[in-house]
Amino acid sequence: MATLPAEIIIEQKMINSTSPKYLNIKIIIVAAISAFACFQSCSPSKPPLTGNLPAQLYYTADDYKSVEKINTHVHIRMDDTTFLNLAAADNFRVLNVSVNSPSAPPIEKQRNISVRLIKSYPTRISYATTISVKNWNSEAWQQEMIYFLKESFDMGAVGVKVWKNIGMDLRDKNGKFVMIDDPRFDPIIDFIEKSNKTLIGHLGEPRNCWLPIEKMTVQGDKDYFKAHPQYHMYLHPEYPSYEDQLNAKDRMLAKHPNLRFVGAHLGSLEWSVDELAKRLDRFPNMAVDMAERISHLQYQAVTEWQKVHDFFIKYQDRLIYATDQRVDSTQIPSQRNTEAHESWLRHWKFFTSDEKMKVPKVEKEFKGLKLPREVVDKIYRKNAEKWFPEMAKLH
């Protein structure tokens, strides 16, 4: 219970007296103390932004398994059930996201894998389909894609992902880069909106992509762009810039104000919670997933812990937990699953505790954000259920 104010402590001495003359005062004071105690513990008012909240307002490491969680960005590309069993044991539901990337199986095959997994694990997994831009320059492309989306929605897709190949690879008949605000996407985006589905946009890349490897902030980006020089934009100055990518996405969102949109990878604004806040303010239907970018929040927490913490409090309704883990035939399943489980635990520690931490992708030490339970429940489940309403019906 909270500490009582001094005047109540003085009066409490009177209560301990057995003298009858204090009887009426005693009743009144008991009522006052009860009311004060209740005000401290029963008040439904929101927790303050900072300060020492009672312990029950926070989760601990022990709560990890008992709290229902959703991970809205994984790529299960084979009929492997070990990853889903692990997710179930750790109390996760997952959204399996199809991608139109050269390293992924054809989009029909990705869809079939999702549909089979959903049959086996109807309460654990949903899926998001995608569109292919292979036939972009054909007249029939829009109709083909709308047909594919309709079929996918009928098969259970709750969203549609567009990928960074739009803006970084796809070109029109004249060799010009096609960006996401190209009018040819509009009927497709309108169809997604009318179907009450969510668009997930991995558009652009982390800002590090436009820097030389040695200037990149987190190890994950250094490793990825070393391995994928074709996507390392520092090496391709003739391609659209980082700002071009963000601006195209902003123009697309401005054209579709009622579209439910999830900016994958912190909306490619992973490097600055201030910049991300500006976009969230401007586009109320936009949430962002944290897939493969939690290290960027941790990197900012090294020097600006309070700012990152306050950002989570202020935008607690717009941030969605996700990891971007892949399941494919190139991995050793036991090793992949161990790594996945360990990273989920590290994320839980970052969001729920205020312990000092070191993680593989960030060079320096930082402190956990120790977010209140209410905020943790939103980022781990409630926001996902809002942006992907069909995922709320899974259990």
Nearer to Zn ion, 80 or 324 (CB): 324
The residue within the footprint of Zn ion, chosen from 324, 347, 370, 376 (CB under 5 A), is: 324
Rg (CA), the chain: 25
CA 300 to chain centre: 17
Q: Residue 326: beta bridge partners? A: 75
Q: How far apart are CA 343 and CA 359, in angstroms?
A: 9
Name the minimum Å distance from CB 183 to Zn ion.
27
CB nearer Zn ion, residue 164 or residue 346: 164
Please state, in angstroms and rounded to a whole number, the distance separating the CA atoms of residues 259 and 249. 13
Determine if 270 is a binding residue for Zn ion (CB under 5 A). no
* Binding-residue total with Zn ion (CB under 5 A): 1
C-alpha to C-alpha distance for 164 and 178, rounded to whole angstroms: 11
b/e map 50-60, b = 16+ CB within 10 Å: eeeeeeeebbe
**Min separation Cβ 289 and Zn ion, Å:** 9
| Of residues 193 and 324, the one with the C-beta less far from Zn ion | 324
Question: Which residue lies nearer to Zn ion by CB, 181 or 324?
Answer: 324
Tokens representing 269?
């604004």
Q: Cβ 310 to Zn ion, closest distance in Å?
A: 28
Q: Which span sits near Zn ion by CB under 5 A: 116-124, 275-283, 299-307, 319-327?
A: 319-327
- DSSP 8-state code for residue 201: E
> Which of these ranges, 178-186, 220-228, 299-307, 317-325, lies near Zn ion under the rule CB under 5 A?
317-325
Tokens encoding 110:
């990705």
Q: Which residue is nearest to Zn ion (CB)?
A: 324
State the first-to-last Cα distance of the chain, in angstroms, to the nearest integer: 36
| Residues contributing to the site for Zn ion (CB under 5 A) | 324
